[in-house]
């Protein structure tokens, strides 16, 4: 019984029709020490991240690392080609003509940083062609703001408390759905 | 969301929209059968695209000699078209990146279409250097890869190679930026679709579900990509201008080229955005999202960049005279009064004089004049590139080499063909993806919607939840029909 339960989670969620109601509801949940599983919104709602205790994204660090790699790779490669592998004099300039390497070094810095960061973004979010993350309701990408609780292991009394919380905070509708863990 | 909105700000979303209506309005073109005007335009575009395929095949089969280039004028319409298309491809990233950093809310109405336009324009631009090689199948030689010829590497000191890196990086980064913004909106389309459409949109929307953490990362990604794309967009046309500026040809060898090219690129790019958006807002019924406020803002940018370009033209003339260098002086005298005087007149008229009418607020807000000017500027900017390239080459150091150039039918067909390629891609885009960034429009609704700000606002102040509820109740919200509804 317990093993069957672990492959599926029972998600109890309420839908709100306005982001102000959503923010108030999240505040109320925090005050009541309710353990919010996830919040889904149709667009980024400002002020939500601190209420949910989400740490600032560290994507920029990934961008910096990839950019540094691109910069060093571009400059290093051109240096290697023109000083070691196949030195050629162009227009009487030195083999290692640093100013002429700047444009390509810059472009490769941007290219590596952007491509690397976008890949990291899709990988850590688990997004990609064919990815099937949890989707609770079709209106979440339209105009509904969703607060979801994991009700799998909750007693029926606790579930009723959550339903009471939803109606008190002005949720438009309350649903429950079995989703893969 | 709340936040201070200056009283001078006018609404950017009209028609008292709710979130759901925004979704309906913007998704509609992807869900209904195409209109007759779309079908006719599409057929015309595909015919032009066919002409492109034919004339490129002709060029490859007969050889580059089918063009009217000669030993003196070895860059003609091909490179003119290349620079013209790259310039047009600058507006999208400017709107989405630089205006994002400046927190300009009006970008949300036009950024999606402008970015798409950027990508398609760069695709068109990329055709010309490739075709100009004559042997298309050797195009791979422009990339430094380990090869069996030594390995013999490309010349990293050459501006033409910098161009290869700049344009391919620009294309890649623009594509990633555009698609990252498109993913949440494709998910919106997916959640409204049924059957095969749902399957297709499930794949292309990458399984987006709108979770708070994903949105947070998505915003962070957009901001950093904007930060990266801002210097990138400025670098691309700078490097294109190096193709000329680093040469030793009088008329090209000028340090003013990078800023002058960048201003010209923004100028022509905005003109093309306006051409497309004025048609799109009408045909796709998006007048509530691409308003006169958007048009006026873009016309202000056009006025600014057009004037910068004008100053650059005059500075060039002044510096040529002031330099005391006879070859430079002759190059510019020849530009104004030489055999191609008509293209110089066209350039001055279209790019410098006529945009000055936008000092009038009435004209800035007139759709007729805006459309007229957008076409005019596109023509003018084409003339500018032609003036720089062909006029300069036509008068060589040796008078015995002086020459005149008119394009052959092949060159004309290739140019018209790229217009076909561009419009074919853009028309397909309007059918398969939301033309306006749905999520971004929703996020500015409460600070830019006409029920919250401006003269028509309900109540006073910018934050009126009660009014929003009334509107929501009156809309067609029908939550019970959803298949996820439970037992």
Q: Would you state the torsion angle of the CA atoms of residues B38, B40, B45, B46, taken in this order, to the nearest 10 degrees? A: 110
Q: What are A39's strand-pairing partners?
A: A147
Angstroms from A41 CA to nearest CA on chain B: 5
Domain containing A89 equals 59-125
Of B156, B228, B442, the CB nearest to A104: B156
Containing H/E element for B190?
Answer: helix B159-192
Residue B5: pLDDT band by 50, 70, 90 thresholds? low
**Chain segment A25-51, per-residue pLDDT in tens:** 999 998 988 888 899 999 999 889 888
Q: Cβ of B176 and A114 within 8 Å?
A: yes
In the listed set A81, A104, A125, which residue is the last one of a domain according to the structure? A125
Domain count, chain A: 2
Best residue of B172, B202, B210 to probe chain A, by most A CBs closer than 10 Å: B210
**Alpha helices (H) along B246-291:** 257-283
Chain A residues within an 8 Å CB radius of B213: 38, 54, 125
> A136 versus B483: which is more confidently predicted?
A136
| A58 has a pLDDT exceeding 80 | yes
Segments making up each domain of chain B, as ranges:
19-141+155-248+261-305+409-462
* Residue B32 clears pLDDT 80, i.e. is over it: yes
**pLDDT tens figures, B173-184:** 999 999 999 999
For the segment B46-54, the average pLDDT, to the nearest whole number, is 96
Q: Which of A43, A110, A138 sits opposite B228 (nearest CB)?
A: A110
- Answer with the one of A84, A101, A125 that is the final residue of a domain: A125
What is the model's pLDDT at position A90? 86
Residue A98's pLDDT band, with cuts at 50, 70 and 90, is very high
Whether residues A112 and A66 share a domain: the answer is yes
Residues A64 and A107 in one domain: yes
Give the pLDDT band (50/70/90) at residue B356. Answer: very high
Say whether pLDDT at B486 is over 80. no
For the CA atoms of A100, A103, A104, A108, the dihedral, rounded to the nearest 10 degrees, stands at 150
Mean pLDDT of chain B: 87
pLDDT band at B2, cuts 50/70/90? very low
Of A72-76, A130-134, B247-251, highest mean pLDDT:
A72-76
pLDDT, tens only, A122-135: 999 999 998 887 88
Last residue of a domain, one of A106, A125, A144: A125
Write out chain A residues lying below 8 Å of B1, CB-based.
Answer: 19-20, 45-47
Tell me if A127 and B206 make a contact (CB, 8 A cut-off). Answer: yes
Task: From chain B, pick out residues whose CB is under 8 angstroms from the CB of A76.
Answer: none
Neighbours of B445 (CB within 10 A): 23
Grade residue B487 by pLDDT with cuts at 50, 70 and 90: very low
Q: Residue B479 has what pLDDT?
A: 40
Q: What is the mean pLDDT of chain A?
A: 89
Contacts of B440 (CB under 8 A, 6+ apart): A43, B108, B111, B181
Q: Which one is predicted more confidently, B7 or A111?
A: A111
A141 and A164 housed in the same domain: yes
DSSP for B411-434 reads HHHHHHHHHHHHHHHHHHHHHHS-
Q: What is the mean pLDDT of residues B10-26?
A: 86
Residue B382: what pLDDT?
Answer: 94
A115 & A137 share domain: no
Q: What's the CATH code of the domain at A154?
A: 3.30.70
Residue B144: its chain A contacts at CB < 8 A? 77, 81
Contact flag B155-A129 (C-beta cutoff 8 Å): no
Please tell me the predicted confidence (pLDDT) of residue B6.
65
pLDDT (tens digit, 9 = 90+) per residue, B267-287? 999 999 999 999 888 888 888
Rounded to an integer, the average pLDDT of B415-419 is: 95
Chain B partners of A25 at a C-beta cutoff of 8 Å? none
Distance from CA of A117 to the nearest CA of B (A): 8
Could you tell me how far CA B329 lies from the centroid of its own chain? 35
* Stretch among A151-165, B36-50, B85-99, B473-487 having the lowest mean pLDDT: B473-487
Cis peptide before B55 (omega within 30 of 0): no
């Amino acid at each position: 019984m317990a093993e069957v339960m672990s492959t599926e989670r029972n998600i109890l969620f309420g839908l709100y029709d306005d982001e102000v109601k959503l923010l108030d509801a999240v505040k109320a949940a925090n005050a009541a020490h309710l353990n919010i599983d996830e919040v889904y919104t149709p667009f980024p709602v400002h002020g939500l991240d601190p209420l949910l205790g989400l740490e600032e994204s560290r994507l920029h660090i990934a961008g910096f690392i990839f950019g540094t790699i691109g910069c060093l790779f571009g400059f290093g490669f051109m240096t290697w080609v023109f000083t070691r592998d196949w030195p050629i004099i162009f227009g009487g300039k030195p083999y290692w003509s640093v100013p002429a390497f700047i444009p390509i070094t810059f472009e490769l810095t941007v290219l590596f940083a952007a491509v690397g960061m976008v890949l990291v973004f899709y990988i850590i979010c688990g997004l990609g062609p064919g990815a099937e993350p949890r989707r609770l309701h079709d209106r979440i990408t339209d105009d509904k703001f969703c607060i979801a609780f994991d009700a799998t292991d909750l007693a029926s009394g606790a579930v009723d408390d959550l339903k009471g919380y939803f109606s008190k905070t002005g949720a438009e509708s309350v649903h429950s759905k079995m989703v893969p863990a | 969301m709340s936040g201070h909105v200056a009283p001078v700000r006018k609404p950017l979303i009209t028609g008292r929209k709710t979130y759901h209506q925004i979704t309906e309005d913007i998704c509609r073109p992807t869900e209904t059968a195409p209109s007759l005007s779309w079908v006719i335009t599409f057929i015309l575009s595909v015919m032009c695209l066919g002409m492109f395929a034919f004339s490129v095949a002709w060029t490859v089969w007969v050889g580059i000699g089918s063009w009217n280039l000669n030993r003196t004028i070895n860059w003609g319409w091909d490179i003119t078209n290349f620079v013209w298309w790259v310039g047009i491809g600058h507006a999208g990233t400017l709107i989405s990146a630089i205006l994002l950093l400046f927190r300009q809310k009006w970008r949300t109405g036009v950024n999606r279409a402008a970015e798409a336009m950027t990508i398609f324009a760069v695709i068109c631009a990329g055709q010309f250097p490739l075709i100009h090689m004559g042997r298309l199948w050797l195009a791979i030689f422009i990339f430094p890869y380990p090869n069996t010829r030594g390995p013999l590497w490309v010349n990293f000191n050459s501006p033409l190679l910098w161009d290869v890196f700049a344009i391919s990086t620009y294309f890649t980064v623009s594509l990633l930026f555009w698609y990252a913004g498109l993913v949440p909106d494709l998910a919106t389309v997916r959640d409204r679709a049924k059957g095969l459409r749902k399957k297709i949109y499930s794949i292309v929307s990458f399984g987006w579900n709108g979770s708070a953490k994903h949105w947070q990362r998505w915003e962070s990604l957009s901001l950093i990509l904007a930060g990266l794309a801002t210097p990138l967009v400025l670098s691309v046309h700078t490097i294109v201008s190096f193709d000329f500026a680093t040469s030793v040809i009088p008329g090209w060898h000028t340090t003013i080229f990078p800023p002058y090219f960048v201003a010209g690129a923004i100028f022509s790019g905005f003109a093309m955005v306006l051409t497309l958006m004025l048609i799109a807002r009408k045909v796709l019924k998006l007048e509530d999202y691409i308003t006169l406020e958007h048009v006026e803002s873009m016309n202000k940018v056009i006025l600014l960049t057009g004037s910068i370009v004008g100053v650059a033209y005059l500075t060039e003339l002044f510096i040529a005279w002031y330099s005391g260098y006879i070859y430079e002086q002759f190059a510019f005298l020849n530009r104004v009064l030489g055999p191609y005087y008509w293209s110089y007149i066209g350039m001055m008229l279209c790019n410098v004089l006529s945009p000055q009418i936008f000092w009038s607020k009435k004209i800035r807000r007139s759709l007729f004049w805006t459309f007229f000017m957008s076409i005019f500027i596109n023509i003018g900017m084409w003339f500018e590139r032609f003036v720089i390239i062909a006029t300069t080459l036509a008068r060589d150091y040796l008078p015995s080499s002086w020459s005149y150039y008119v394009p052959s039918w092949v060159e004309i067909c290739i140019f018209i063909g790229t217009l076909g390629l561009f419009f074919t891609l853009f028309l397909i885009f309007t059918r398969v993806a939301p033309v306006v960034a749905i999520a971004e429009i929703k996020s500015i609704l409460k600070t830019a919607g006409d029920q919250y700000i401006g003269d028509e606002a309900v109540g006073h102040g910018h934050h009126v939840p009660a009014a929003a509820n009334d509107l929501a109740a009156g809309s067609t919200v029908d939550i019970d029909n959803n298949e996820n509804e439970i037992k």
